[in-house]
Structure 1
Amino acid sequence: MGEKGVTLEELKKRMAEFASDRDWDQFHSPRNLLLALGGKVRKVGELSEIFQWRGEVARGLPGWKEEERQHLGEELSDVLLYLVRLSDVCGVYLGEAALRKLQLNALKYPVHLSKGSSKKHTQNNVNAPAVADSNGDC
């Protein structure tokens, strides 16, 4: 495989082909895919187990064995693939939806209130005046 930088559109196309080749479209209703994705939520638990006894893990996972990285990738992919398939069947353009969500999050977490803070947006004082950051931006 070795394809770095694959797009959501390519994943969507491949998932559709995968399902069609196996005559699984009949089973891929939004409800069924959502239930299958819900089952994959337990994969988050499996992801947690991968990290559970390691303490804080540095970015890039230094010191991890290749098989550990591969296992992590497989667990992450399980969730992603169901999500991509569900969005396709529902006619939601996941990339566009994700960009829109980023825009909404930028409104909820303005830089001048959120930079360096782990506070939830409901804890920010949105009525506070904007303070220029070190770049002079508000």
Structure 2
Amino acid sequence: MTEVSVEAPNSSDRLALIRERLQGFARARDWGQFHSPKNLVMALTGEVGELTEHFQWLTEQESQGLSGTDLDDIREEIADVQIYLLMLSEKLGVDLLQAVEDKIDKNERRYPAERVRGSRRKYLP
């Protein structure tokens, strides 16, 4: 018997599969009519607010030591944020992974490590 090797999909492939799954989910429920960029941004903002609520009154130390139900709830909110972000990028024709890479490149040019290391200031002279 020959063993078949199945490679795990890379991040880009997984993102495409998730995007297709989200599209099918919305299509089966006829929800695409509600997914304008404006509505998706509003939904995204609401989900970011729900994520923020989990951290609102925590100390710095508490926010770094989450576990159990708290972490499970936060994981779900992070997923909701990502779902709406994916849907918005799809609606606007933005290649999300390329946009992230482009932004990292821009930040590397804008904030050279030798000039900003250890500084919390956003803009240096």
Interval containing the TM-score (normalised by the shorter chain): 0.7 to 0.9
1:120 to 89, 111, 122: 122
Distance change in 2, residues 1:44/1:97 (3 Å): same
Cα distance between partner residues in 1 of 2:38 and 2:49: 22
The residue aligned with 2:99 is: 97
1:42-81 aligned within 5 A = 43-57=47-61, 61-62=64-65, 64-81=66-83
The alpha-carbon deviation at position 37 of structure 1 amounts to 2.5
The residue aligned with 1:134 is: none
Cα distance between partner residues in 2 of 1:53 and 1:26: 38
Bigger helix fraction? 2
Q: Which runs of 5+ in 2 are unaligned?
A: 1-9
Matched AA of 1:91:
G
Q: What TM-score do you get using the length of structure 1 for normalisation?
A: 0.70
Q: What TM-score do you get using the length of structure 2 for normalisation?
A: 0.76
The residue aligned with 1:131 is: none
The alpha-carbon deviation at position 90 of structure 1 amounts to 1.1
Single out whichever of 48-57 and 68-77 deviates more from structure 2.
48-57
Runs of 4+ in 1 over 6 A off after TM superposition: none
Number of aligned residue pairs: 115
RMSD of equivalent CA atoms: 2.5
Q: How many percent of aligned residue pairs carry the same amino acid?
A: 39
Cα distance between partner residues in 2 of 1:105 and 1:81: 25
Contact 1:84-1:94 within 8 A present in 2 as well: yes
Single out whichever of 109-118 and 24-33 deviates more from structure 2.
24-33
SS in 2 for 1:57: helix
Cα distance between partner residues in 2 of 1:37 and 1:53: 22
Q: Which runs of 5+ in 1 are unaligned?
A: 126-138
2:112 to 98, 110, 113: 110
SS in 2 for 1:79: helix
